Structure 1
């Protein structure tokens, strides 16, 4: 039944992609983030939905007459250079065959991110992108939270098998990232039942993250919760929610969960943590010896024997930063960090230029909550190999689209006010026309 439902949804929306190409981008985000076909047990689990959606969307982009320019902001240029650099490191990869397999997967994500940047232009498009992302991950948050309650927190919450978020640590980080976006949707919802439903979804998603037994997720949710409180316009409401929710949630979790979290204080004795440190040193030594990195797929016995302090302790990078360093060298890591910084500054520009303008409150709230989400990813990603996880790139796209839209509208309003002022000569003693909106500029 689930297989048929997913198929009907995908093929039901495909015809509309040729009329509204942005629908194809939203379908792609849904299928790539939620992976709904993995929830079935029949033909849908291996059916190439993503490839079909991508092909139809690209055809629509090529043949429709709608404007489809790529917004060339600093974020976009850094992103393009990062993609090009990954191609360079692939050409010189230490293991070309293995590297090509991962390159093929990553380039599809990057290509469709660029397509999404081209197609998501209006406020409606941006809102739909956030809704699709929230629904895609919120499904697992609600499901995982209920599972944690029913199991008493004894069984571990996992994500959809065979995806970026299949592991317990990965699904936890994804759910943490989605909580601020749920809060954003609360600020835009008109109906009370929608706002209350989102509150329940936030609480269940947080409980599911705890039920994953991920120590990195606990650190990420603590950091993000603090930042969410600092950034929120409803500090009292958020504080009350945290005070009422956190103690019962922690008390609900079983003793083995508490013991697992307590190992954060004794990381020197934890084999898993020490294995990650070993992998980080391997990535650093590899990049120091080979500044362009080793290309995709560098977790091999040969490289650990050559570069790791403990050659026998083979571990994945378990860090977005050391993954970038090992695979793409210091320049690749620098580009990745610069991309994050430019995205952050884009959000700050939006917040600063929409201050005290009620009609752009949605843009300010969205930029703020995306920043909160990225803080969670930056902290949780320190301990996970999620360099190519697509959700942060889609949030980057939403941030860029919001800035381009806001900047365009502010410029049009300023131009309109200037023209009105020039067309009418003020009488003696008449006040000057109302000042036009001030648009600050920065390098973002």
Structure 2
């Protein structure tokens, strides 16, 4: 039944995508982030829904005679394209050149459609569609996970959907941490009181699900995210009271085994998993120093660890977005990746500064703040996970760029003088004769 439902929704949307390509953006993000077809057990699990949506969306953009879609050339988009190009170059000189192409194609699909999303987000409604789609896609699993944690008393871990970027307990936890600030923004936009209450409940359940994942990295990211969310939020007193009331209750609710797991953060020298990650980080560092182009996507192999790791037999994935990019694409790749994050952050700060005195642009400042909080959570939690190519941060980056362009356009419109046509009517003169148009 789920397979049929997803199939009907996707194919029913295709005619609308041809009329409004921005709907294709929503469908692509929904399919790629939520992966609803993976929740079925039949033919839909392996059906190429994403490819169909991508082809139809691009075709609709190319055949739309009423509007030309252009890529906004900002510092963020230029850096993003340079990063994509650099990954293609490092793949050509990879340590395992025959094996990197499958991963390169996957990454190009993600980054390529991010460029399409950048071209399609032109209005506030488009940006908010993107935010809503991400919130619904990830919040669905967070709500389920929070209810599961309550029912099980926190005795079992929360896992993400199988076969996706966020299928692991650590990955789904970080995705939920990133989603909570977006929910916070949407809460301020909802007018209906029951809608607001539902959003608050979803936020609490997502936070509880993140705790129920037993992810230590996500716990650190949540602390950083909540602290920054409090600093960026408008109602600091109200939000502070909620945190003071809810955090101790949530910690007391979790069982002893959860506290034992989190306490190992202070004893990482005795944790085999933590030491394995450090070994992988040292391998990536040594590899980047030896090979300026890095090793390509496939470097977590015994022969690579034999050459560069302090403990050759302890083969681990990078478990860090930073060391993942460093090992795979070298110091230049890491510099581009960090520059991309910094420029996106600076874009958010510019938006906040420019919208602070404009009531009509208050939404832009509020959303930019929450995007910064979400990206901060990813930057902190990503230090312990191999999620450098996770698509959600790239969509949030695209949203930040789109908001800046909207703010620039609104400010330019406000400053521009109102043109007066040559044959326009002059202001009313009492001496002029008033002529009435005959009734028809």
Cα distance, 1:241 vs structure 2: 1.3
- Over 6 Å off, 4+ runs: none
- Rounded to whole Å, the distance in 1 between the matches of 2:249 and 2:419 is 57
1:290-326 alpha-carbon deviations (Å, 9 max, x no partner): 0110111110100101100000110000000000000
- Structure 1 equivalent of residue 125 of structure 2: 124
The count of residues paired between Structure 1 and Structure 2 equals 421
Give 1 or 2 for the bigger CA radius of gyration: 2
TM alignment of 1:64-103, pairs within 5 A: 64-65=64-65, 66-103=67-104
1:344-382 alpha-carbon deviations (Å, 9 max, x no partner): 000000000001211111100000000000110000000
- Structure 1 equivalent of residue 27 of structure 2: 27
- Rounded to whole Å, the distance in 2 between the matches of 1:250 and 1:5 is 39
TM alignment of 1:252-271, pairs within 5 A: 252-271=253-272
- Structure 2 equivalent of residue 3 of structure 1: 3
- Structure 2 equivalent of residue 434 of structure 1: none
> Which segment is superposed worse, 59-68 or 253-262?
59-68
Cα distance, 1:418 vs structure 2: 10
Structure 1, gaps ≥5 residues long: 420-444
Matched, 1:318 2:319: yes
- Structure 1 equivalent of residue 284 of structure 2: 283
- Structure 2 equivalent of residue 13 of structure 1: 13
Q: Please give the secondary structure, in 2, of the residue aligned with 1:336.
A: helix
Q: Please give the secondary structure, in 2, of the residue aligned with 1:18.
A: helix
- Structure 2 equivalent of residue 50 of structure 1: 50
- Rounded to whole Å, the distance in 1 between the matches of 2:83 and 2:263 is 38
Q: Please give the secondary structure, in 1, of the residue aligned with 2:98.
A: helix
- Rounded to whole Å, the distance in 2 between the matches of 1:321 and 1:128 is 30
- Rounded to whole Å, the distance in 1 between the matches of 2:95 and 2:37 is 34
TM alignment of 1:111-260, pairs within 5 A: 111-260=112-261
- Rounded to whole Å, the distance in 2 between the matches of 1:395 and 1:384 is 19
- Rounded to whole Å, the distance in 2 between the matches of 1:63 and 1:353 is 36
1:44-76 alpha-carbon deviations (Å, 9 max, x no partner): 111111111111111111111222111111100
- Rounded to whole Å, the distance in 2 between the matches of 1:48 and 1:182 is 30
Cα distance, 1:36 vs structure 2: 0.5
Pairwise CA RMSD:
1.3
- Rounded to whole Å, the distance in 1 between the matches of 2:237 and 2:73 is 39
> Which segment is superposed worse, 92-101 or 170-179?
92-101
- Rounded to whole Å, the distance in 2 between the matches of 1:178 and 1:25 is 19
Cα distance, 1:97 vs structure 2: 2.0
Matched, 1:109 2:110: yes
- Structure 1 equivalent of residue 432 of structure 2: none
TM alignment of 1:322-361, pairs within 5 A: 322-361=323-362
- Rounded to whole Å, the distance in 1 between the matches of 2:62 and 2:87 is 26
Matched, 1:394 2:395: yes
- Rounded to whole Å, the distance in 2 between the matches of 1:230 and 1:122 is 28
Cα distance, 1:194 vs structure 2: 1.2
1:93-114 alpha-carbon deviations (Å, 9 max, x no partner): 1111221010010000011000
Structure 2, gaps ≥5 residues long: 421-440
- Structure 2 equivalent of residue 39 of structure 1: 39
> Which segment is superposed worse, 228-237 or 63-72?
63-72
Q: Please give the secondary structure, in 2, of the residue aligned with 1:356.
A: coil
- Rounded to whole Å, the distance in 2 between the matches of 1:168 and 1:132 is 22
TM-score when normalising by structure 2: 0.94
- Rounded to whole Å, the distance in 2 between the matches of 1:323 and 1:373 is 21
Cα distance, 1:123 vs structure 2: 0.8
- Rounded to whole Å, the distance in 1 between the matches of 2:402 and 2:417 is 23
- Rounded to whole Å, the distance in 2 between the matches of 1:67 and 1:332 is 32
1:255-285 alpha-carbon deviations (Å, 9 max, x no partner): 1111000101111100000000000000000
Cα distance, 1:243 vs structure 2: 1.2
- Structure 1 equivalent of residue 430 of structure 2: none
- Rounded to whole Å, the distance in 2 between the matches of 1:42 and 1:240 is 47
Cα distance, 1:21 vs structure 2: 0.5
TM-score when normalising by structure 1: 0.93
- Rounded to whole Å, the distance in 2 between the matches of 1:373 and 1:56 is 30
- Rounded to whole Å, the distance in 1 between the matches of 2:154 and 2:56 is 43
- Rounded to whole Å, the distance in 1 between the matches of 2:223 and 2:327 is 29
